[in-house]
Amino acid sequence: MRILICEDSALLREGLVRLLEDAGHTVVAALVDATELADTVARTDPELCILDVRLPPTFTDEGIRAALALRATHPALPVLVLSQYVEERYASDLITGHSAALGYLLKDRVADIRDFLDAVERIGAGATVLDPEVVAQLLTRRARDTRMERLTDRERTVLALIAEGKSNQAIAQALFVTEASVEKHITSLFQKLDLEQDESGNRRVLAVLVHLEHGQNPADGAPQNGAHS
């Protein structure tokens, strides 16, 4: 996969380049800020962009704003945002936008090389991969949605795992139930939340997040072991 990196930390930037290239990917560019991002994307035609949230010159939200701009100008381009924290001002817009594949991971996830490379592959293939902490922080600060009260405890747990990007098989393994049981829970919770069923992993996660912006913290119901399926 052809990957563009935008990361101001030389240590992390070079580490990502080596990690990705050792895994068989091609790093087409490694930028220190977003000033030439649009031109570089046009010139190198990457299949995935990895951006830090905080970039020069202010080290506040340049990276996530650059990610939003990319989503607008290149809606089919998968984007992976890396951050040391959750930038709430723009993160919700980024996650709920109906565009290409997306990842939002906290930087400590990069330390788990196998999980990180798996996330890169999944995002490049069209999936949405969200750090559980990102989902939790975005939703826990929203007012409670009365629709959530319709769900059973098990349905809330399944919903939290869906929001983390887990497949039906991974949810079944996490809860020690059959996939058929998971499918039944998903059908029920989608009906209770007035959501149309959708077999697309991307749209399923995004739809859940859109409709639960005024919902409850997934961490209230989800198992705490494991970030990804």
DSSP 16-44: HHHHHHHTT-EEEEEESSSTTHHHHHHHH
**Could you tell me what percent of the chain has a pLDDT over 90?**
41
User: Could you give the count of Cα atoms lying within 13 Å of 131 in the half-sphere of its Cβ?
Assistant: 22
Query: Which range (27-31, 75-79, 104-108, 194-198) has the least confidence?
Result: 194-198
Residue with tokens 């939340």: 193
DSSP type of residue 103? E
Cis status of the peptide bond prior to 57, with omega within 30 of 0: yes
Between CA 46 and CA 204, with CA 66 as vertex, the angle to 5 degrees is 75
Residue ranges of domains in the chain: 2-130, 139-220
Domain 139-220, classified CATH 1.10.10.10, yes or no = yes
According to CATH, the superfamily of the domain at 2-130 is: Response regulator (3.40.50.2300)
pLDDT confidence of 225, banded at 50, 70, 90?
Answer: very low
Strand, coil or helix: 113: helix
pLDDT confidence of 52, banded at 50, 70, 90?
Answer: very high
Instruction: Answer yes or no: is pLDDT of 182 > 90.
Output: yes
Mean pLDDT, range 66-95, rounded to an integer: 84
User: pLDDT, tens digit, for every residue of 94-125?
Assistant: 776 656 788 889 888 777 899 899 999 999 99
